[in-house]
Amino acid sequence: MRIRLEHVTHAYAGSDESAAVQVLGDISLDIASGDFAVLMGASGSGKSTLLNLIGAVDKPTAGRIFLDDNETSVLDDSRLTMLRRRSIGYIFQFFNLIPTLNVFENVAFPLSLANTPRSDVKSRVAEALASVGLGNRATHFPNELSGGEMQRAAIARAVVHNPPLILADEPTGNLDSRNGEMILDLIRSIHKSRRATIVMATHSERAAAYGDYVIGVSDGRVGGVGSGGWEKEPARDHYSAPSPESVAENASTPTPHPPLPTPRKQ
């Protein structure tokens, strides 16, 4: 799914006592279909707001946003809801699993919203859980999972309906370094196998290295576009935890990633 932003501005309305606060100013971007783009900036830079605008959660104060040929900035709420349900997968920093549902039910939730036939739900959820290494945890509840397992369940939920666009907001921000690296390997593997467009927001240079390229966000504006600097072994198609020996070997002899695509920017 191609993403285009044309002179987008976003501000939060003020009150009688305070003026409106501009969060993003005059942003134009063109992210090609199939790209893995990283929005990188410090806390408060506007990257999460930008991700919400791309994901049709918010509308811009001014400017135009397109997902393929759909101008989301002019769609009504019902059409935006259908677009989000069918075409976008979300990965959150704090997982956002429903505590009263088990893993299978959490992953199946987007399919129920899309009125997927029951005959298809079981096989699609099983496939999604297997792809993240949680095939044996389907009946467990979120409070029975580790942080890394909860994020893997959340990733399965984000991809179970095969969306052409996946948005990840600080997906490793609530994990230790080992689990964070596993999650980033998994996201990179999903990009390789599914060829969905992925946009990930992060403040971490280490996480940003997993993308095809990095779009700097600072003080509500987009700066330069640079290489993601990928130097790890290309991710596997299905999740499996790396052995300590392989981690040590990869750290000492990194395998270059194939040539990076040319970033596209208006």
CATH number at 146 reads 3.40.50.300
pLDDT at 16: 62
Rounded Cα distance between 125 and 111, Å, is 9
pLDDT at 264: 45
pLDDT at 57: 94
CA distances from 255 to 231, 232, 233, 249, 252 (A): 6, 6, 5, 10, 10
Domain-embedded: residue 68: no
Domain-embedded: residue 219: no
Q: Give the length of the chain.
A: 266
Domain-embedded: residue 18: no
Rounded Cα distance between 266 and 46, Å, is 19
How many domains is the chain built from?
Answer: 1
pLDDT at 14: 67
pLDDT at 252: 37
Rounded Cα distance between 184 and 171, Å, is 8
Q: Which of 175, 200, 205 is nearest to 187 (CA)?
A: 200
Domain-embedded: residue 28: no
> Which residue do the tokens 């496939």 mark?
127
On whether the CB atoms of residues 234 and 56 are closer than 8 A, the answer is no
CA distances from 181 to 112, 137, 148, 160, 205 (A): 31, 21, 10, 22, 12
Domain-embedded: residue 247: yes
The identity of residue 130, as a single letter, is A
Domain-embedded: residue 117: yes
Q: Which of 208, 251, 206 is nearest to 233 (CA)?
A: 251
DSSP the chain: --EEEEEEEEEE---SSS--EEEEEEEEEEE-TT-EEEEE--TTSSHHHHHHHHTTSS--SEEEEEETTEEGGG--HHHHHHHHHHHEEEE-TT----TTS-HHHHHHHHHHHTT--HHHHHHHHHHHHHHTT-TT-TT--GGGS-HHHHHHHHHHHHHTT--SEEEEESTTTTS-HHHHHHHHHHHHHHHHHH--EEEEEES-HHHHTTSSEEEEEETTEEEEEEE----SPPPPSS--PPPHHHHHHHHHSPPPPSPPPPP---
Structure tokens at 26: 């005059």
pLDDT at 227: 55
User: Domain of 163?
Assistant: 35-59+75-213+224-252
Domain-embedded: residue 228: yes
pLDDT along the chain (266 residues), means of 10: 96 73 92 96 92 95 96 94 94 94 97 89 96 95 96 97 96 93 95 95 94 94 66 38 40 34 41
Domain-embedded: residue 112: yes
